[in-house]
Amino acid sequence: MSKILIRGAKVLGGDVQDVLINGETIAEVGTGLSAEGATVVEADGQILLPGLVDLHTHLREPGREDSETVLTGTRAAASGGYTAVFAMANTHPVADTAGVVEQVYRLGREHGYCDVQPIGAVTVGLEGKKLAELGAMHDSAAGVTVFSDDGKCVDDAVIMRRALEYVKAFGGVVAQHAQEPRLTEGAQMNEGVVSAELGLGGWPAVAEESIIARDVLLAEHVGSRVHICHLSTAGSVEIVRWAKSRGIDVTAEVTPHHLLLTDELVRSYDPVYKVNPPLRTEKDVLALREALADGTIDIVATDHAPHPHEDKDCEWAAAAMGMVGLETALSVVQQTMVETGLLDWAGVADRMSFAPARIGRAKGHGRPVSAGEPANLTLVDPAYRGVVDPADFASRSRNTPYEGRELPGRVTHTFLRGRATVVDGKLA
């Protein structure tokens, strides 16, 4: 069995320690550990985190392999420090049967860059009409625990209620894309001052907030668990805060881009900024950061949404919605949360590994950095400063809003069950 000694890293940003990996497992954590027979990784000044877990990734396979595949997407994930990703169901065919989720799960295992945990669709074909085979997907080899029609809202209250009732039986969770469809017909960007000036169809905050309000009440009524995808407004934060104070079993995520970018960027008419939910205002950004810091928002999830050049490089109205995010997420969180003093590295470990693994019940991920645990680990150099160049991405798509921006931090090593998937910042 191969041995690796990570020497002198700040574990979760705290004490400087050595971590000895033996085979797939962390053998020892301490100071002055022997390097005998081990490959040494010098980690002076670096932060050691549990491998990151993304609860919201679009891998596009099957069906849109021109934008991403399980292989390219998991290579992008490993580059970004992830050891597990949850793959959204809006593929072609939709991941609404045991067959499709098993296929995606197996591809992840075969490629070996990052574990892939498929998310099952809530409704057949994401059409919102008929519940998909939730039980069969759960009982399959993929062991699906998270269900979502992401990209579309489960807007029928009865279907949502039934889904919540169904997943309760096996401790699953429904992850809602909160977007009232009638209030967002033809919407192109956040509804506000900028949309009025640009004459683009507005996407009101209330379209998100009304669905969240309804769904936390449904979750309370049914006694089930609901997760809210990509929260984007200050009002949504208030509703989730209220729900949690009532003891409702709700969790929520925020994307890196909603922690940094605002709708002012849409003035450029550059479709790279077109995303669902849309970029909001400075006030929303600040409320989201604060909510992530105080735990009202549980996790950061990337909503990595790769699109090929031809779907993005066109006029605003015709462009696809979405941004890639796996390879920049940790840097954006470092900039917006750590360097602002809102969150320390232990907090980052919680919001990007422990909590998402807990919500999605990802086995072997989001575990403490201690002896006997699976060696799923990420090593970060926080002093690094670099300009984002999409040509460096492992993702098949390049639709990043950060091109040319300087961002802090770099993932130097990622370990999946003791095997290095990233070494010195490069895919192994």
Residues that bind ligand NCD (CB under 6 A): 58, 90, 150-151, 177, 275-276, 303, 305, 321-322
285 and 262 Cβ atoms separated by less than 8 Å: yes
User: By C-beta, is 234 or 275 nearer to ligand NCD?
Assistant: 275
User: Least distance in Å: CB of 332 to ligand NCD?
Assistant: 16
Annotated binding residue 304:
no
Backbone φ and ψ for 343, nearest 5 degrees, come out as: -145, 140
Residues that are catalytic: 303
Largest CA distance in the chain: 67
CA distance 72 to 145: 24
* Structural tokens at position 321: 């919605």
CB contact set of 194 (below 8 Å; sequence gap of 6+): 263, 264, 266, 267
* Helix segments in 187-343, DSSP class H: 193-198, 205-222, 234-245, 256-260, 282-294, 309-312, 329-333
Strands 299-300 and 377-387: unpaired
Annotated binding residue 150:
yes
Annotated binding residue 22:
no
Q: Give 37's Cβ-side CA count (13 Å radius).
A: 7
Annotated binding residue 230:
yes
User: Least distance in Å: CB of 396 to ligand NCD?
Assistant: 14
User: Least distance in Å: CB of 54 to ligand NCD?
Assistant: 13
Annotated binding residue 313:
no
Which residue in the block uniquely carries the two structure tokens 């009732």?
165
Annotated binding residue 139:
no
CA distance 264 to 312: 19
User: Least distance in Å: CB of 179 to ligand NCD?
Assistant: 8
User: Least distance in Å: CB of 403 to ligand NCD?
Assistant: 17
Annotated binding site for Zn(2+): 56, 58, 150, 177, 230, 303
Annotated binding site: 56, 58-60, 90, 150, 177, 230, 276, 303, 307
Annotated binding site for substrate: 58-60, 90, 276, 307
